[in-house]
Amino acid sequence: MNKLFKPLSFVVLIMLVATACGARVVEAKHVEQPVSIAPNYQSLVGKSVGDKNVVDFIASNYCSSSYQYQLCEASGIALGINLDQTVKTVILFPGGTHEIARFHGGLPRNLNWNDSMASVNQKLGAPDATFQEQGELPHDRGTPDEIRLWASYKELGLTIVYNSLSAKDNNAAIYAILITK
C-alpha cells in the first residue's frame, strides 16, 4: 500500500495544481465596443495628425481614412484633415445617417440633437452667414442630392448643418455640427 500511496499522492497533487491554475471557460457575451470620446474634442482642432492626442483618439475610436477625413463611425465623429496633415474640423453627427452612429458626448454651447433651427438661433443668436453646400461632409461625396443649409457662427468656431435648404425652415433638424478654431 505504501508503494501505491506515493504515486497516487503525486497524481492528486498534479490534479489540484491543474485545477487551481487552469483557465476557466466562460461564455463570451457580445458587448458594445466602448468608444473613447476625447475629453475635449475641440482640443483636436489645429493639431497635427501625428500629435499623440490625435493618434490616440484615432486608434481608440477605430477611425478609418476616407478622402481628407478620419471617419470614426462608431463614435459619431469625423475629423477633417488639411493638406498639411492637421485637423481642421471636428464633425459631430446625430446618428441615423449613412452608418455613422450618434455622437453621445456633450455638444458645444448647450446644443442638443433635438434642437430645431429656431432653438439653435435662440441659443446662439443669428448666424454670421448661411449658405447651401453640397457634398462637403465625408459621407456626402458624389451625391448631388445631398445639398443642405449651413449656418456659420465664426466667432464661436461652429457651423451647424441642417437637413433643409431653407434658412426660413425653423423646424429644420441638425444634420451635423462642425467645430473649427
Per-residue pLDDT tens for 93-145?
998 766 788 998 889 999 999 999 999 999 999 999 887 776 566 655 443 44
Model-level pTM?
0.72
Three-class SS state of 57: helix
Which range among 57-61, 128-132, 145-149, 157-161 shows the weakest confidence by mean pLDDT? Answer: 145-149
Alpha carbon distance 133, 164 (integer Å):
11
Q: Which residue in the block uniquely carries the three cell numbers 432653438?
A: 119
Per domain, the residue ranges of the chain are 41-179
**Alpha carbon distance 60, 35 (integer Å):** 7
Beta bridge partners of 81: 87
Residue 52 pLDDT more than 90? yes
Are 69 and 81 in contact by the 8 Å Cβ rule? The answer is yes
**Are 48 and 74 contacting, i.e. CB atoms less than 8 angstroms apart?**
no
Mean pLDDT, rounded, for 37-64 = 86
Positive or negative CA dihedral for 84, 89, 95, 96? negative
Grid coordinates representing 136 are 462637403
